[in-house]
Structure 1
Amino acid sequence: MEIIIFLCICIIVAVSLHFIKKLGNSKQNIQSPPGPAALPVIGHMHLLSSTMHISFKDLASKYGPIMLIRTGATTSYVVSNGAIAQEIFKTQDIKFAARPEFGGSDYQIYKDNLFSTLDYGKQWSFLKKICMMEILSNQQINQFADIRKAEMMNLLKVIAQHSETGCDVGLEFTALANNVISMMVMSTRCATNVDETAQIKEIARGITQLSGVLSLGEAFPLLKWYDIFGAGRKVKVLLLRFDALMDGIISKHEMDIRDGKRERTDMIDILLRISEDKTSELKLTKADIKGLFLDLFLGSTEETSAALQWALAELLNHPKAFKKLQDEIDMTVGLNRLVEESDIPNLPYLHAVVKETLRLHPSLPLVFRKCREDSKINGFPIAKNSRIVVNLYAINRDPNVWEDAAEFEPERFLINAINVIGHADQEDMKGQNFSYVSFGGGRRGCPGANLATSVLHITLAALIQCFYWKIKGAEKVNMEEGAGFSVPMAHPLVCYPILRVNLSDLLQIN
């Protein structure tokens, strides 16, 4: 009863504030971008589904490429056009290089250390430099190629055991991504170390699941202030567990370094070296190190797993594309050895399949920015601290740019494709073609894009080389999208893998 009374008070206060604000800003609203009619208190929430990127895309078809959308007390400018995205990611990048805080930030013990949400400034630039030049540089990613290969081979062995029972490939892809990140970060696999990395996996999943509840705090600030559902407290407990685990892992690394027991340099070793560098422009603290790794575990695992599932699902639903890719691998690599990362540059159709998958199913369909100073977008004034939402999903499916925009057609990315608009090259993967933005763009584009695509290419190639696939209980995969930041599949992708090679021999050869 107390909660009901409290919510009623919240609604009354919110309605009052809404009309006061509406009266006070009537002149400013004349210059605002178009948008649907809003209801008191909830704004446009009644028009939005759990797959918000799709709702925004549908609304944009009626109200234009830049809209004003209100969810409760939060107002956002939603962009659904590549040309306008270019203003944000390139032309005025510095003005939109900040990210807004979300409902759970008050419970985020790494609020001042989390690279993904840190405000733009010297600290953020310092951490970005470390990411791009040290732990996620092309050179460093190449040095971890044997880890990706070993985990990919483990994945093939596990999948091969499910030829009769069927395999939920989503679970196995998540395990693969977790193990790759864990080995790169701390030289330990999630599957073998229950006391450390498996707990981190559990913590990351818990934080992700609670994020939706926390986001209600943006729409209704009183929920945020009083943490009525307890999600904030639960997140803080999970983060404190993560903090304690990382303290133990870092201490063990420091001890092994002192004793000369480190056989291989991982990411923690690299960051500990930087933290001890007295000539460094800024001091890298242990909290910074833990924040960087929390970002890696939260972002990389689910996004990589989802992308692999969407790629395999699209190929299963398009047998001609599946066969074309399998034929390309057979001609280039053959069936007597396992595909290697060195083969990837010689597999153009594989690159086209990955690009087309990320076009239709970007790893993060919505990208959030905060305006750092008064500006204009597409002629509309944008006040300082305004929230911008760039709908990558809508941009990548813009029918004015892409022919048959909703269709899976990898051929559109082949250099010699005929009569196909929307051709893209390697620069597109870096967010330089603003009609194709699968990892964001500008200063705050995803720093892990190269790592993600490396895992995608080699894993997908091996899955197609080694197996035929049958869909469990259906002729086609159900492509319904689920709710979540990385847009997972709404239904588990369960398949029967059928070996087409002597896997034991291939694994021994490699």
Structure 2
Amino acid sequence: MAAVVFENCFILFLICIFSLLCYSFIFKKPKNSRRGRDLPPSPPSLPIVGHLHLLLSTLTHKSLQKISSKYGSLLHLRFLNVPIILVSSASMAYEIFKAHDLNISDRGVSANGESLVFGSSGFLFAPYGDYLKFMKKLAVTKLLRPQALEQAQGVRAVELERFYANLLEKAKKKESVEIGMEVMKLTSNMIFRMSMGRRYSEESGYAERVMELTTKSFNLTKKIFFANMLRTTLGKLGISLFRKEIMGVSCEYDQLLERILVEHEETLAEDDQDKDMMDFLLEVCGDEKAEYKITRDHIKSLFVEVFLGGTDPSTRATEWTMAEILNNHKILEKMRQEIDTVVGKARLIQESDLPNLPYLQAVVKEGLRMYPPIPLVLREFQESCEIKGYYVPEKTGLVVNVYGVMRDPDSWEDPDEFKPERFLDYASRSGQEEQMREQGMKYLPFGAGRRGCLGSNLASILQGTAIGTMVQCFDWRVKGDKINMEETLGGLILTMATPLECTPVPRLGPF
């Protein structure tokens, strides 16, 4: 009986959806009129679903890349009743970010109410306004400034040594390791201790708990964006999808972060040299003269997003790059030769070595080019505008397929081949400043414009030292001749379909 009732309710629900969509597309006039001006080109669409049928693969970035290669690098698409401008070339990305950066400074994603995970007090989806400007200024001048990164170098060095020691222990036991999992532990510990304080040891269990919650949050991201898309279409029905799951993770974060906040308040350091990110934010929270009055929820949400933005994307980028290195023996040997020459064989690689290791840096950049952790950049046009003579209505979504941009054959020679050498002279190329900026739009692993990633320097350090350690200190035994490089999307993160698992064999050391 219960099953029949559920089935009837589900059928009624589908009828409601279908009726609403029919009303929207058949009887209701578009909110934004073209006013006689042409929208960008658009592939053939279907009633109701629009271009949704073209996303045949779960790999959305590849489906969009295929669409662009057939119909052009600037397209107008519609998914259900959600209009989208799709950009897939460096020249078009440059045109938009140069002329319309402020207009596209909002992500166009609704915040999840009071949740600490992508919620209204967060930084990631905040509208471009006073709060966002204040937090961005704080990040640039206090939290992620070069002096702050240098100050925390000792913490990262300790965690890197622990990472090396853990791999060495597994190597002695001839155990296989999942590279992604080991790198996730490294990045989680580094970011946790940089942001929450050097006072916390591994035994506190806090960093491990944060990693668990971060994994839960990333598993929810696809659901959150799906719910946001349906909210745009079905908002009048008052449907709130996945709210229970989202708020469950949010409550767990809240309990953990409140405990850490209280501990910081009790032992707030007076010496600037001992202050961490949490200490600085608590001071700002208590400053009545601050440009913007932030709350405890603002602090908690910021740290949730620091964990989300700093751990899984860096981990996946490192895993992809290591897979390419192990698939290309010549690249591996060239990296080792450079590291052995600069660092030697008597000590572990350090952050201070990175500027003297141009080939290692080129390998890291090439990994990010081929496998950007977040392959799609999402924005929204706040006002109507004109691009290349085409009319774009206000509140139209913007999707920049950075995966497609960085594999565009018009911009990159042999775009699907792993060639680090292409970056060896990238920074030193001469030319006019304007031309260099346009050229830079070929390479967008951290986004661009006002909403570009603020932690790109830290991410490069984490990836460079992790990859450098694994290449310098170990040989790696893999199953089969080649590593499986098939892709999947873990939430919105580009992930290996088959996790990279191999056995470390000591090459140097122990140090």
Q: Same fold (TM over 0.5)?
A: yes
Aligned residue number for residue 477 of structure 1 = 483
Alpha-carbon distance, 1:264 to partner = 2.9
Aligned partners of 1:147 and 1:432: how far apart in 2?
36
> 1:19 pairs with 1, 22, 26, which one?
26
1:286 aligns with 2:271: no
SS of 1:498 mapped into structure 2: strand
Aligned residue number for residue 255 of structure 1 = 266
1:47-446 equivalent positions in 2, closer than 5 A: 47-48=54-55, 49-102=57-110, 105-106=112-113, 108=115, 111-163=119-171, 164-187=174-197, 191-194=202-205, 196-221=206-231, 230-257=241-268, 264-415=274-425, 433-446=440-453
* Equivalent position amino acid for 2:340 in 1: D
2:90–2:411 contact (8 Å) kept in structure 1 = no
Aligned partners of 2:131 and 2:314: how far apart in 1?
27
* Equivalent position amino acid for 1:500 in 2: R
* Equivalent position amino acid for 2:250 in 1: L
2:108–2:380 contact (8 Å) kept in structure 1 = yes
* Equivalent position amino acid for 1:206 in 2: K
Change (3 A) 1:430 1:362: farther
Aligned residue number for residue 46 of structure 2 = 39
* Equivalent position amino acid for 1:50 in 2: T
1:87–1:93 contact (8 Å) kept in structure 2 = no
SS of 2:259 mapped into structure 1: helix
Alpha-carbon distance, 1:343 to partner = 1.1
Aligned partners of 1:108 and 1:423: how far apart in 2?
48
Aligned partners of 2:200 and 2:436: how far apart in 1?
29
SS of 2:311 mapped into structure 1: helix
Change (3 A) 1:318 1:236: same
1:84–1:377 contact (8 Å) kept in structure 2 = no
SS of 1:476 mapped into structure 2: coil
CA RMSD of aligned residues (A): 2.9
2:446–2:452 contact (8 Å) kept in structure 1 = yes
Change (3 A) 1:51 1:225: farther
Alpha-carbon distance, 1:192 to partner = 2.8
**Identity within the alignment, %:** 34
Aligned partners of 2:192 and 2:31: how far apart in 1?
53
Q: What is the TM-score of this pair, normalised by structure 2?
A: 0.90
Alpha-carbon distance, 1:229 to partner = 8.4
Aligned partners of 1:140 and 1:477: how far apart in 2?
38
1:453 aligns with 2:476: no
Aligned partners of 1:262 and 1:327: how far apart in 2?
41
Alpha-carbon distance, 1:88 to partner = 2.7
SS of 1:33 mapped into structure 2: coil
Aligned residue number for residue 4 of structure 2 = none
SS of 2:487 mapped into structure 1: coil
2:184–2:311 contact (8 Å) kept in structure 1 = yes
* Equivalent position amino acid for 1:435 in 2: K
Alpha-carbon distance, 1:348 to partner = 0.8
Alpha-carbon distance, 1:415 to partner = 2.0
Change (3 A) 1:340 1:198: closer
Alpha-carbon distance, 1:4 to partner = 2.6
Aligned partners of 2:484 and 2:436: how far apart in 1?
27
SS of 2:43 mapped into structure 1: coil
1:89–1:443 contact (8 Å) kept in structure 2 = no
Alpha-carbon distance, 1:193 to partner = 2.8
SS of 2:422 mapped into structure 1: helix
Aligned residue number for residue 487 of structure 1 = 494
Aligned partners of 2:39 and 2:407: how far apart in 1?
25
Alpha-carbon distance, 1:267 to partner = 0.9
Q: Which runs of 5+ in 2 are unaligned?
A: 1-6
SS of 1:362 mapped into structure 2: coil
Aligned partners of 2:436 and 2:185: how far apart in 1?
25
Change (3 A) 1:299 1:269: same
| Cα offsets for 1:178-199 (capped at 9, x unmatched) | 11111011126695333x4433
Alpha-carbon distance, 1:210 to partner = 1.8
Deviates more, 1:15-24 or 1:202-211: 15-24
Aligned residue number for residue 466 of structure 1 = 473
Deviates more, 1:179-188 or 1:300-309: 179-188
Alpha-carbon distance, 1:154 to partner = 1.1
* Equivalent position amino acid for 2:137 in 1: K
Change (3 A) 1:323 1:124: same
Alpha-carbon distance, 1:262 to partner = 10
Alpha-carbon distance, 1:146 to partner = 1.4
* Equivalent position amino acid for 1:363 in 2: P
Matched residues, number: 495
Alpha-carbon distance, 1:224 to partner = 6.3
Aligned partners of 1:220 and 1:77: how far apart in 2?
18
Alpha-carbon distance, 1:290 to partner = 1.2
Alpha-carbon distance, 1:91 to partner = 2.7
Change (3 A) 1:33 1:108: farther
* Equivalent position amino acid for 1:72 in 2: L
SS of 1:220 mapped into structure 2: helix
* Equivalent position amino acid for 1:71 in 2: F
1:108–1:239 contact (8 Å) kept in structure 2 = yes
Aligned partners of 1:254 and 1:336: how far apart in 2?
43
Q: Which runs of 5+ in 1 are unaligned?
A: none
> 2:507 pairs with 481, 491, 500, which one?
500
